[in-house]
Structure 1
Amino acid sequence: MEETPVPPYPLTAVVGMDDLVLSLLLSSVAPDIGGVLVRGEKGTAKSTAVRALANLLPSVDVISGCRFGCDPHSPDQDCPDQPHGHEHHARPARLVELPVGATEDRLLGSLDLDRALSAGVRAYEPGLLAAAHRGILYVDEVNLLHDHLVDVLLDAAAMGRVHIERESISITHASRFVLVGTMNPEEGELRPQLLDRFGLTVEVRASRDPDTRAEVVRRRLAFDADPERFVKDWQEAERELAARITSARAHLPAVELPDGVLRQIAAVCAAFDVDGMRADLVVARTARAHAAWSGRTRVTSDDVRVAAMFALPHRRRRDPFDAPGMDENLLDEALRDNLPDDPEPPEIDPDGGPAGGPEGGPDGGPGGQSPTDGQDNPEGTADTAGSGAAPPDSGPEAAAEGQAPAGPSSQEQSRPGRKPQDDQDDQDPNTETPRAPAPAQDPVSATAPFKVRSFKLPGLGKGAAGRRSRALTTSGRTVATRPLDAGSASRQDGSGRVHLPATLTAAAARQHARGREPGGPVLLRRDDIRLGVREGREGNLILFCVDASGSMAAKKRMAAVKGAVLSLLLDAYQRRDRVGLITFRGADAELALPPTGAVEAARMRLDRLPTGGRTPLSAGLRRAWAVIGNERLRDPHRRPLLVLVTDGRHTSGEDPARIAVEFARQGVRSVVVDCERGPVKLGLAGKLAAGLGGELVTLDDLRAESLAGMVRSQVSDRTERRIA
């Protein structure tokens, strides 16, 4: 007996996530906004709200028998299922989920091998992008999506079409969808190219109000106890919200965007220094959608404010270390300084409230009231969505308030009475006289990041797709083919989908012996099948081991060291690596950040890094060895790269040379960043790099421009010698 599927949680029953609900509704009213990116901590109803949205969308009219969902009133002239018939029917709007581990074939579609090999027909099997046409494409954990899938999504979202050229098939079809993604920033940031494709972004976090949290738990327990009864209780509220979406869609073409308001939008976008013109377009479309949602026929400054709060925060970020969010004071100032010449007063409905007020939807009804007791939602949206004002304690700007503060200011670092930690501990490594532990100095701010040299691991790896070292992956260019055998399915050796030309070539010479009749289907055997071996790039584990002892602070080097590590972190983010941070000072080493994809978290740990005390270099290496060992058990295919940032001195613990030999023996790739400066250098970091079997670079050598300068210098010298 099959179990009855559990119905989705009603959107109108979601408590305290007003910005999230409003952004989803606005994207439903105007799909050309470009979708929504939902950023937030785990357990904040991100996926619940997105999945609940599908039940509220109006049905779409499609041509019967068309696998690509063509509109009978405006069919796609290049649809692969042409010619179309005259019959059509209505179907519910689709919510198509893209799994993080999906293949490119699953997303784009692929050749129907069964029909191709049995009937000799080139048949195309549509993928998820075809299924999502005129609906919603939902990507949970979108920041963990493989780069090659991100590239496909970028093309489809930009062009509204999908082009497939593979295995002698050339297909193009329409694919216009609302892209909705959810992500937890702790697990890593999103590539800027895909981030900009999302029209709106919203930051969500759990409410700290006990009444709101209690209401969330109360409703969820009621849903889990009897889902059908719970959904039935909210059915009327859901019906009203669905009707309001349909009404707002029909009302949208009549909404006027005055030229004065349009100039205000342009001025606000310019004031926030956003890149390109996409922000202006998204703010204009969102403002019109909000006006239609509120029942107005004319866009006002309140609509522009709501639109800017959703459309601009993620477009202001210049790198992954910039905190998301909006300065509301700056936004209000930009709006006031660029008021339209003839501002329209808000329209009033006959009942005395704003048009499109609390009747239905998150403006006060379904999302904020219980259908049984009529009590107000503790954080209802009656005073936010309909009025055009953002909630005071939620939304994109709220996340910025939770960011850890940066390092102290220069005044704090140079306040009277402070003296730099001297270097006496490092000058007498053999003394046995017990000393009081040196006090830790306040953290210093890092210097500005710069573009760094590219460090790659030698050979071919088998790790997760990334952008650093060469690897055999399931994506990338085909470099060879291999026979299908019993063990290939369990090995990550770069063998991907079936390579049809190589398979048919292997089978061609055996067709006569197998008795194939002229014009008949190709006769295949298992030993004919060939898999494509693909070479691409992998992401690595970049483990930073940073010396934070007194010698680093005494010579005022920590600011430069932090700047160098910050630059390497930015490079790791761009190459899709996992990063970890170990610091050593005093008597021990600390794992400041376990390996993660969230380089922003590493930046925060780096900002708060104190310095001072002795130099337990061996303890740092021991901790790095343990972390690498644990990560190998967790992900044996992700190769590590140890980045040791030190001047090479050690004044506490065993001789680090004996530990370094183990790294070299196990083949752990390492880079030693020599922080020693001054006219007299001991060269201890160079000896350590030799023991590790790694590469030695100075802080200055890390810069990519210094490497380019060296190459140009060598080329110039050779040219001059040839001329001479």
Structure 2
Amino acid sequence: MTTPYPFTAVVGQDDLRLALLLNAVSPRVGGVLVRGEKGTAKSTAVRALSALLPEIDVVPGCRFSCDPSAPDPACPDGPHENGSGVARPARMVELPVGASEDRLVGALDIERALSEGVKAFEPGLLAEAHRGILYVDEVNLLHDHLVDLLLDAAAMGASYVEREGVSVRHAARFLLVGTMNPEEGELRPQLLDRFGLTVEVAASRDPETRAEVVRRRLAYEDDPVAFAARWADEEAAVRQRIVAARRLLPQVRLGDGALRQIAATCAAFEVDGMRADIVMARTATALAAWAGRTEVLAEDVRQAALLALPHRRRRSPFDAPGLDEDKLDETLREFAGPEDDDPGPDGGPGGGGGQPAPDDGSGPQYGENSESSEGDRTDGNDGNDGNDGTPRTSSGAGAGEQAAVRASEPFRARVLRVPGIGEGAAGRRSRARTEHGRTIGARRPRGALTKLHLAATVRAAAPHQRARGRTGPGLLLRRDDLRQAVREGHESNLVLFVVDASGSMAARQRMSAVKGAVLSLLLDAYQRRDKVGLVTFRGSGAEVALPPTSSVDAAAARLESLPTGGRTPLAAGLLKAHDVLRVERLRDPARRALLVVVTDGRATGGPEPVALAGRAARLLAAEGVASVVVDCESGPVRLGLAGRLAQDLGGAAVTPDELRADAIAGLVREVRGDRRAA
């Protein structure tokens, strides 16, 4: 077994360490979401936490980790008698992003249930994580159906497996910890709110700190056992402090003054619902216990707000999480009682300053792969200002380039779908054969049976009952009788935007409206769990402004900073899109693409630019790419060039106004005609 990296040897990341330790002290805080760039010790710190958790007592032989002092009366392995248990370490269970539903909740043997009348149940990861930690790396990439199951279990503290009238229930209370890189896409709001705390992590830019990261990492890799032994005393000290804080926690008093500050802070930052108030109260109480106090102070409330509120105040997917600390301090001062001290900008414990925590040896912490990621960052700015109205140039742009303009206010967009039926990753855009959705038929199972079609199974078995010698009321089943339900739901797609940034699109009001329309489609793509990509063309060629990614935020940022000007190399933009789609088909053959071309249809530059653009469009159509053209042509004289482009692509042309969900019904047609749907 590999020796884990010690928690106390991690360099830096004070907020991350504090958030994890507070959940170890009080699991009711509700877990931690760790956001940050790659190589910042996110996974290392989470995996190291499990070694610090106190042991738990479990019923001997129970696969569901029942507490012997209060066993679950509905435990599938029960009933259990109250009595002594056996101690074992608290588990940290990892949920892979690509896990199946059966792996998460457990598998019920339908064949034995129907033929023998027994509940043969194999527990899943939720059962393993009960009374421990459930860790999801890259939680933002988790499939929607798994997210739904996690939400249900987190809300009810139990997992239910239902299959054609046969059900199993078991307790599933766990500490949910997730890590994610925001560049790879954001998290669904429903799951985001389920995390009690959130922290942002980044690699240090201090050379001495970075050198210490490398020094410790090399020492660990050379001899993990010896390295862990050097930190054993510090690990033991933190473990003992967690135990002491847990014992003190019931004695901590949350006074009316602190409670008033918590309520005022949540109201001031306009967070939705009451979960934030409850989480802040639990976090502030845990902070006091961690500091060895029995009274919650203003500094605890401040630090609790910094950990519990940033991810809850996002008003749209394109808003960055964060908290205005000046506003926070002002609110705390306004609602402070006479006994409260001014929290000040450094008033919080842990990463926020204030009362120093006792030396637990955790000191500077290790960053698992702290090389600078500046070259990989997506910050929506290519180094040009773009907000001061001054012209700027970049490679490929000709004279007359104009600075970027801001997008108009986004609106709720109509749904553009890829026709036909796919088999891609679950999502919310186009029709697809999925494991979830409405049942449309039955087939013989391929491998293990997961979704039984009961009626089809009975029909298959019924003609053979006499030959099989059935004498009683039961149904005699064989493996060949079983039928798997065929279900139809929705899939996510790759939405590739090809945006005309040439001089013909450069009018400020016009480009602002165009960007607003694309931003609205990006918001729709976020809600439907799509991947997105962005190709732009202007001047002498086209470029991939953003390769296909799950980060809709990154696409919005690139769009916002997009300047305009120069000629209109429409063919180059379409051919670049063709290259991007060809590569993506090799990477993910099951994910179908939707091409959204945003242009006025003009083509300039080079010999026969219009004819060349037509040939490029027909190439895409011949390969079956579903397309829609957003016709941005304006003015009293309209040439209809975008409409001709849509015909060559085999798709439809719509205006930005026709993209609105509240437009007259029927204005937005299917992205391709019925002849291609067939």
TM-score scaled by structure 2?
Answer: 0.89
Question: In the alignment, which of 140, 143, 148 is matched to residue 137 of structure 2?
Answer: 140
CA distance, structure 1, for counterparts of residue 397 and residue 74 of structure 2: 79
SS state at 1:21 partner: helix
1:660 shift after superposition: 1.7
Asked which structure has the greater CA Rg, the reply is 1
Structure 1 segment 519-558 matched on structure 2, within 5 A:
524-525=478-479, 527-554=480-507, 556-558=509-511
After superposition, what is the alpha-carbon deviation per residue over 1:304-357, rounded to whole angstroms, capped at 9, x for unaligned?
11111111110111122111222222222222222223226999xxxxx99883
Structure 1 segment 391-402 matched on structure 2, within 5 A:
none
Question: In the alignment, which of 48, 51, 70 is matched to residue 47 of structure 2?
Answer: 51
CA distance, structure 1, for counterparts of residue 3 and residue 408 of structure 2: 53
CA distance, structure 1, for counterparts of residue 167 and residue 205 of structure 2: 54
Q: Is 1:61 matched up with 2:57?
A: yes
After superposition, what is the alpha-carbon deviation per residue over 1:386-437, rounded to whole angstroms, capped at 9, x for unaligned?
xxxxxxxxxxxxxxx9955699999833x7xx79xxxxxxxxxxxxxxx993
Q: Is 1:475 matched up with 2:436?
A: yes
CA distance, structure 2, for counterparts of residue 114 and residue 521 of structure 1: 11
Distance 1:367 1:514, change over 3 A: farther
Q: Is 1:672 matched up with 2:629?
A: yes
Q: Is 1:78 matched up with 2:74?
A: yes
1:215 shift after superposition: 1.1
Deviates more, 1:634-643 or 1:168-177: 168-177
Distance 1:213 1:595, change over 3 A: same
Question: In the alignment, which of 279, 287, 291 is matched to residue 288 of structure 2?
Answer: 291
1:145 shift after superposition: 0.7
> Is the 2:431–2:488 Cα contact (8 Å) retained in structure 1?
yes
CA distance, structure 2, for counterparts of residue 48 and residue 514 of structure 1: 58
SS state at 2:20 partner: helix
Aligned to 2:163: 166
SS state at 2:187 partner: coil
Aligned to 2:618: 661
Q: Is 1:98 matched up with 2:95?
A: yes
Aligned to 2:254: 257
SS state at 1:649 partner: coil
CA distance, structure 1, for counterparts of residue 383 and residue 658 of structure 2: 26
What code does the residue aligned with 2:330 have? E
CA distance, structure 1, for counterparts of residue 298 and residue 397 of structure 2: 63
After superposition, what is the alpha-carbon deviation per residue over 1:173-216, rounded to whole angstroms, capped at 9, x for unaligned?
22211110011111111001100110100111111111111111
Q: Is 1:615 matched up with 2:548?
A: no
Deviates more, 1:594-603 or 1:62-71: 62-71
> Is the 2:519–2:556 Cα contact (8 Å) retained in structure 1?
yes
1:517 shift after superposition: 8.4
SS state at 1:266 partner: helix
Distance 1:68 1:548, change over 3 A: same
Aligned to 1:131: 128
Distance 1:681 1:112, change over 3 A: same
CA distance, structure 2, for counterparts of residue 410 and residue 144 of structure 1: 32
SS state at 1:334 partner: helix
Aligned to 1:585: 538
Structure 1 segment 466-505 matched on structure 2, within 5 A:
466-484=427-445, 488=446, 497=451, 499=453, 502-503=456-457, 505=459
SS state at 2:584 partner: helix
Structure 1 segment 278-317 matched on structure 2, within 5 A:
278-317=275-314
1:107 shift after superposition: 1.5
CA distance, structure 2, for counterparts of residue 366 and residue 644 of structure 1: 54
What code does the residue aligned with 1:506 have? A
Distance 1:563 1:409, change over 3 A: farther
Question: In the alignment, which of 695, 704, 707 is matched to residue 652 of structure 2?
Answer: 695
Deviates more, 1:125-134 or 1:41-50: 125-134
Distance 1:620 1:496, change over 3 A: farther
Aligned to 1:267: 264
What code does the residue aligned with 2:435 have? T
Deviates more, 1:225-234 or 1:286-295: 225-234
Distance 1:545 1:216, change over 3 A: same
CA distance, structure 2, for counterparts of residue 512 and residue 221 of structure 1: 72
Aligned to 1:337: 334
CA-atom RMSD in angstroms: 3.0
What code does the residue aligned with 2:635 have? G
CA distance, structure 1, for counterparts of residue 154 and residue 111 of structure 2: 31
SS state at 1:706 partner: coil
Question: Identity of paired residues, percent?
Answer: 64
Aligned to 1:510: 464
CA distance, structure 2, for counterparts of residue 502 and residue 170 of structure 1: 20
SS state at 1:412 partner: coil
Aligned to 1:452: 413
> Is the 1:408–1:443 Cα contact (8 Å) retained in structure 2?
no
What code does the residue aligned with 1:676 have? E
Q: Is 1:573 matched up with 2:573?
A: no
After superposition, what is the alpha-carbon deviation per residue over 1:144-186, rounded to whole angstroms, capped at 9, x for unaligned?
1110110111111112222332133122322211110011111
1:45 shift after superposition: 1.3
Distance 1:675 1:246, change over 3 A: same
1:119 shift after superposition: 4.7
> Is the 1:147–1:466 Cα contact (8 Å) retained in structure 2?
yes
After superposition, what is the alpha-carbon deviation per residue over 1:267-294, rounded to whole angstroms, capped at 9, x for unaligned?
1111211111111111111011001000
Deviates more, 1:7-16 or 1:516-525: 516-525
Deviates more, 1:59-68 or 1:43-52: 59-68
> Is the 2:288–2:300 Cα contact (8 Å) retained in structure 1?
yes
> Is the 2:468–2:476 Cα contact (8 Å) retained in structure 1?
no
> Is the 2:73–2:79 Cα contact (8 Å) retained in structure 1?
no
> Is the 1:408–1:444 Cα contact (8 Å) retained in structure 2?
no
Aligned to 1:15: 11
CA distance, structure 2, for counterparts of residue 677 and residue 354 of structure 1: 60
Aligned to 1:393: none
> Is the 1:561–1:699 Cα contact (8 Å) retained in structure 2?
yes
What code does the residue aligned with 1:299 have? V
> Is the 1:648–1:685 Cα contact (8 Å) retained in structure 2?
yes
> Is the 2:492–2:530 Cα contact (8 Å) retained in structure 1?
yes
CA distance, structure 2, for counterparts of residue 628 and residue 446 of structure 1: 27
1:556 shift after superposition: 3.3
SS state at 2:67 partner: coil
Aligned to 1:640: 593
> Is the 2:130–2:171 Cα contact (8 Å) retained in structure 1?
yes
1:682 shift after superposition: 1.5
> Is the 1:118–1:521 Cα contact (8 Å) retained in structure 2?
yes
Question: In the alignment, which of 408, 422, 430 is matched to residue 461 of structure 1?
Answer: 422
Structure 1 unmatched runs, 5+: 348-352, 369-376, 380-400, 420-434, 712-724
What code does the residue aligned with 1:524 have? R
Aligned to 2:674: none
Number of residue equivalences? 645
After superposition, what is the alpha-carbon deviation per residue over 1:470-522, rounded to whole angstroms, capped at 9, x for unaligned?
101233333221124xxx569xxxx9556566446534543554567879995
> Is the 1:142–1:182 Cα contact (8 Å) retained in structure 2?
yes
CA distance, structure 2, for counterparts of residue 410 and residue 7 of structure 1: 51
> Is the 1:288–1:299 Cα contact (8 Å) retained in structure 2?
yes
Deviates more, 1:495-504 or 1:333-342: 495-504
Aligned to 1:437: 398
Aligned to 2:106: 109
CA distance, structure 2, for counterparts of residue 436 and residue 243 of structure 1: 63
Aligned to 2:147: 150
SS state at 1:263 partner: helix
What code does the residue aligned with 2:615 have? R
CA distance, structure 2, for counterparts of residue 118 and residue 289 of structure 1: 52
CA distance, structure 2, for counterparts of residue 195 and residue 677 of structure 1: 42
> Is the 2:163–2:452 Cα contact (8 Å) retained in structure 1?
no
